[in-house]
Structure 1
Amino acid sequence: MVLITAVREYINRMLQDISGMKVLVLDPSTVSAVSVVYSQSDLLKKEVFLVELVDSISMSKKSMSHLKAVYFLRPTSENIQHLKRQLASPRFGEYHVFFSNILNDTQIHILADSDEHEAVQQVQEFYADFVAVDPCHFSLNISSNHLYMLPVAMDPSKLQQYCDRIVDGISAVFLALKRRPIIRYQRASDIAKRIAQDTANLMYQQESGLFDFRRSETLLLVLDRRDDAVTPLLNQWTYQAMVHELIGIQDNKVDLRTLAKVPKDQQEVVLSSEQDSFFKANMYENFGDIGMNIKQMVDEFQQIAKSNQSIQTIEDMAKFVDNYPEYRKMHGNVSKHVTLVTEMSKIVEERKLMLVSQTEQELACNGGQGAAFEAVTNLLNNESVSDIDRLRLVMLYALRYEKESPVQLMQLFNKLASKSAKYKPGLVQFLLKQAGVDKRTGDLYGNRDLMNIALNMARGLKGIENVYTQHQPLLFQTMENISKGRLRDIDYPYVGNHFQPGRPQDVVIFIVGGTTYEESRAVALYNSTNSGIRFILGGTTLLNSKRFLKDLEEAQRMLRSSSTLV
């Protein structure tokens, strides 16, 4: 169950059986799906000399009959119309059309009627309607991600489109993996229930023939992001998650153009476990170890270069790379990581994140309301702490102590409003309405059941290896419960009459509202324990705290505007 391999095989099959020079025509969704698993050099090896977007092809009149066109598109009505117009006046010698999901009969008839010049050589469905971020982690890159927080009655058509896109993405994953799952969902979430039921309807009724795979012990569990709003609010200190939190990763690419003194060849860098051995070895390591591992590689080259330059700090490493252009040529990969670590170190220092993060972790992992209130108050008063960090601290405190200290919570609201000019009134209260204790299913803080209290005490006695990475997402506990057969039917019911007789072998956990790299790391580490179950994680988008807060603000804004119209 390796997603990257599945998508690569689809693209290989598209390109290798068509000989000669080719143009690859994509849409914005398939650009993402292809780019995370296939490099430019991979495409060149398959004789792809041009990559175009389907809407730009429509605007061009230039004939290229010497090229064979390979189209890889989502089967949307918009893309079908683009194809219809382009087939009316063909620019390429041949057309090979592949769709990333299931075509309906109407779409097939439209294409057949449009191909008057008989330019289309084949039409196939290759199920890669998702972005395979890592081998066991996928995203649907849905832009309107805030819709899961809105009531159904507010905009039924938009919510239907949102749900349809999710069902399409989930179904493509299972078609790519050749599995038909038993489906469960989080009972407390209306959106999780709706998506689980719609997915079951597609797999077991509408397209039952397509999903007629040999029976396997496979589970799909649909969850709601609001059951764990803590994880996307926390600062991160492991490499991949930290890069996304502080700089941002989009389709495995990091945009560094806004940073000062970044060499031209590093203004956009790729962070892929498939293409970068150093990143693969270090993506889940903590920040301190990353610095040491990069320094070791720099030291090795320094020995080769017979340089006596002293390297003691991250800044020294960056200067060394600048002074030795041959180093960048030979070890461009390492210089990329030096650039990233250098930039993140600056951000950590500017925002006093080591100070902030220690309190965040205490809020997420440990009790002690009085000490927490004092720590958060002190940080709100600290002029070096940024507005976004103040907001996250108050949110984390509110999620933890909303029932225990309403008076002190109101004091923090008032202080936040007075200290942060960008503070959006009522955003913390809106978060509590969306993801407060009354809305949650899971045991978010591990303190409502005796087994978890015992585990937490044992953990405390052994000591925490790293205070900045002690938090475990709720997802880890969910995986444990699945592995040990403890996932309660009353909280996570089955769809229909399809029950899991025993322990599943393969589990896809889909989080409506988005996943985080911290959760992706938890899945990868859990899979490495050889528990006998393989987990895959998927979500509507990839979150960092900035994106999560943006979704929260957008949902709040839409609800306010709708209430003023009533």
Structure 2
Amino acid sequence: MVLVSAVKDYINRMLQDISGMKVLILDSDTVSIVSVVYSQSELLQKEVFLVELVDSIAKSIEPMSHLKAIYFVRPTSRNIQHIKRQLANPRFGEYHLFFSNMLNNTQLHILADSDEHEAVHQVQEFYADFVAGDPYHFTLNIPANHMYMLPAVVDHSNLQHFCDRVVDGLAAICLALKRRPVIRYSRTSDVAKRIAQEAGKLMYQQESGLFDFRRTEISPMLLVIDRRDDPVTPLLNQWTYQAMVHELVGIQDNKVDLGNIGKFSKDQQEVVLSSEQDTFFKANMYENFGDIGMSIKRMVDDFQQVAKSNQNIQTIEDMAKFVDNYPEYRKMHGNVSKHVTLVTEMSKIVEERKLMVVSQTEQELACNGGQGAAFEAVTNLLNNESVSDIDRLRLVMLYALRYEKDSPVQLMQLFNKLASRSPKYKPGLVQFLLKQAGTDKRTGDLYGNRDLLNIARNMARGLKGVENVYTQHQPLLFQIMESITKGRLRDVDYPFVGNHFQQARPQEVVIFIVGGTTFEESRSVALQNATNSGIRFILGGSMVLNSKRFLKDLEEAQRITRAGTSVI
């Protein structure tokens, strides 16, 4: 529970130490940071009677001197200006200012000079500048996530802003965990190298005093890698519960919006999927889709037993007992309804898009060789009227990534067929993906066919057969964690920043994927941590991806690159 607990502890300290009625003022980033670890009812228990966004507060002039204002915002120039305007004419009785990251001296001076009415009671830095969706998985929710694909010559200022935000997030993670790590990065990625070097400069030079924690015998490691080292994982359909919900419906800050996929009552249109608040989800989030159906059936059976016992109210004592248990009964009813709805809707999508047939070919492309059979399978699916445009595009991309060097003629045939079958297909998008993440651009052994150990492992897996053909794929991250665990992560592929080398195997590793993580990868991390290898892994990224988001980022990067190239 390491990340969730760290953020929750910060918020507890904010709210517990200030007595009386409070208003909690957040920005668009911190509203996500708080919402994934704290429920509305928990905020009410801490006497928070109003939650407002900093932009909305700025427009209101109604005095509320009976309330104490708790600001929890990122230390941006925009937020500092908002607070400055508030302090010029204070609406609340007290102001308590908490920032999710480091303030600089200029910002502190602005706040001090603005507090002419002496309304500010405290200013503190609480390092929770990341969204802790799961115990070992965080995201920075960077809206312009496509920036990592752009060369500096095309969009220098926005790319710098992207890198700055990532460095801020990495600094907050390390400060929250009270660690100063050795830093490594993916050799072939300019953006990973830049972020790693800037993070190293911050932690070892500019703010070395802040990061000067009690030394451990073996330093922890921060490894910065690039999404383009493994473009396959975000292109695949998913068949484990959490990853599948994100792929087919979408998860944003542990919430699922069902409004787009069916007609539901208002209270059912948005549901929460949190391992912190939902024991069924916690137990089943990494399970296969087939097993989920059985688990939900057992949950429905249990609920029907409880419902039946509640119908047998004979005495006043029975009635009193039912009233006492009603909140739990209602919660159980809501949970059953939520999971049955999700699985029912996903089953419909799987059937409509023929995803079991599509996914089998995807897994073959990702995991097994055989170029001739793969070409035939992809061609057949491109001709299948039931296959959707997005699924056709993903299949061609997966084929292109696997066989870009082997079959240029057949690849061109697939490009032409895709363009004729899918009117929404953006010309050149597959070629742009190969330019961004083709075999010459990647660090690591994506298909496990360069390293002898990986070749042997793939052969063994092929001979044994796979328990589930739909979940046989393992992301590149799995190989990286295995290499770290065995002390075999190659310096030539993942160099160190500065002269901070590491001989021994680290006990704590933060892996950050520039360009975004997937729930398949967060599952790999959770399963790896459960093996008790002696290393605790934490995974983070600039965004949590599904295939739609990955393709959207690719399209946006392609558009800007074309525009930028034409200008240059």
Q: Normalised by the size of structure 2, how large is the TM-score?
A: 0.95
In the alignment, is the contact (CA less than 8 A) between 2:303 and 2:332 conserved in 1?
Answer: no
Distance 2:153 2:512 in 1: 24
Distance 2:96 2:279 in 1: 35
The aligned counterpart of 2:55 is 55
Secondary structure at the aligned position of 1:28 is classed as: coil
Distance 1:214 1:338 in 2: 49
Report deviation, 1:563.
Answer: 2.2
Report deviation, 1:454.
Answer: 1.2
Report deviation, 1:329.
Answer: 5.9
Matching residue's letter, 1:255: D
1:340 aligned onto 2:366 = no
The aligned counterpart of 1:409 is 411
Matching residue's letter, 1:163: C
Distance 1:269 1:370 in 2: 44
Report deviation, 1:304.
Answer: 4.6
Distance 2:387 2:420 in 1: 14
Distance 1:139 1:15 in 2: 24
In the alignment, is the contact (CA less than 8 A) between 1:233 and 1:544 conserved in 2?
Answer: yes
Q: Deviations over 1:384-404 (max 9, x none)?
A: 000000000000000000000
Most deviating of 255-264 and 552-561: 255-264
Report deviation, 1:461.
Answer: 2.1
Secondary structure at the aligned position of 1:261 is classed as: coil
Report deviation, 1:214.
Answer: 1.1
In the alignment, is the contact (CA less than 8 A) between 2:516 and 2:543 conserved in 1?
Answer: yes
In the alignment, is the contact (CA less than 8 A) between 1:328 and 1:335 conserved in 2?
Answer: no
Report deviation, 1:502.
Answer: 0.6
In the alignment, is the contact (CA less than 8 A) between 2:514 and 2:541 conserved in 1?
Answer: yes
Q: Counterparts of 1:42-441 in structure 2 under 5 Å?
A: 42-216=42-216, 217-305=219-307, 330-441=332-443
Secondary structure at the aligned position of 1:486 is classed as: coil
Matching residue's letter, 2:398: L
The aligned counterpart of 1:323 is none
Distance 2:46 2:403 in 1: 57
Matching residue's letter, 2:133: V
Report deviation, 1:452.
Answer: 1.2
Matching residue's letter, 1:531: S
Distance 1:145 1:303 in 2: 48
In the alignment, is the contact (CA less than 8 A) between 2:389 and 2:422 conserved in 1?
Answer: yes
Matching residue's letter, 1:223: I
Report deviation, 1:367.
Answer: 0.5
Distance 1:266 1:158 in 2: 38
Change beyond 3 A, Cα 1:117–1:218: same
In the alignment, is the contact (CA less than 8 A) between 1:262 and 1:339 conserved in 2?
Answer: no
Q: Deviations over 1:471-529 (max 9, x none)?
A: 00000000000111111111111001101131101000000000000000000000000
Report deviation, 1:328.
Answer: 6.1
Report deviation, 1:297.
Answer: 1.3
1:565 aligned onto 2:567 = yes
Match of 2:550 among 537, 548, 551: 548
Report deviation, 1:302.
Answer: 2.9
Distance 1:171 1:26 in 2: 21
Report deviation, 1:327.
Answer: 7.5
RMSD (Å), alpha carbons:
1.3
Most deviating of 492-501 and 229-238: 492-501
Distance 2:331 2:267 in 1: 10
Report deviation, 1:264.
Answer: 2.5
Q: Counterparts of 1:453-492 in structure 2 under 5 Å?
A: 453-492=455-494
Distance 2:184 2:532 in 1: 23
Q: Identity over the aligned pairs, expressed in percent?
A: 82
- Report the count of equivalent residues: 549
Change beyond 3 A, Cα 1:156–1:330: closer
Q: Deviations over 1:180-215 (max 9, x none)?
A: 000001111110000000000000000001000011
Secondary structure at the aligned position of 1:154 is classed as: coil
The aligned counterpart of 2:315 is none
1:514 aligned onto 2:516 = yes
Distance 2:47 2:495 in 1: 50
Distance 1:230 1:121 in 2: 51
Matching residue's letter, 2:114: S
Most deviating of 411-420 and 144-153: 144-153
Secondary structure at the aligned position of 2:112 is classed as: helix
The aligned counterpart of 2:530 is 528
Secondary structure at the aligned position of 2:29 is classed as: helix
The aligned counterpart of 1:35 is 35
Matching residue's letter, 1:168: D
Report deviation, 1:79.
Answer: 0.2
Distance 2:136 2:235 in 1: 23
The aligned counterpart of 2:314 is none
Distance 2:153 2:567 in 1: 14
Report deviation, 1:157.
Answer: 1.2
Report deviation, 1:330.
Answer: 4.0
- 5+ long unaligned stretches in structure 2: 310-327
Most deviating of 453-462 and 5-14: 453-462
Distance 2:330 2:261 in 1: 18
Secondary structure at the aligned position of 1:56 is classed as: helix
Q: Deviations over 1:332-390 (max 9, x none)?
A: 11210001001101110110000000000000000100000000000000000000000
Distance 1:432 1:24 in 2: 47
Most deviating of 448-457 and 282-291: 448-457
Report deviation, 1:448.
Answer: 1.2
Most deviating of 227-236 and 157-166: 157-166
Secondary structure at the aligned position of 1:113 is classed as: helix
In the alignment, is the contact (CA less than 8 A) between 1:97 and 1:122 conserved in 2?
Answer: yes
Secondary structure at the aligned position of 1:511 is classed as: strand
In the alignment, is the contact (CA less than 8 A) between 2:154 and 2:565 conserved in 1?
Answer: no
Change beyond 3 A, Cα 1:232–1:25: same
Matching residue's letter, 2:41: S
Matching residue's letter, 1:506: E
Change beyond 3 A, Cα 1:329–1:479: closer
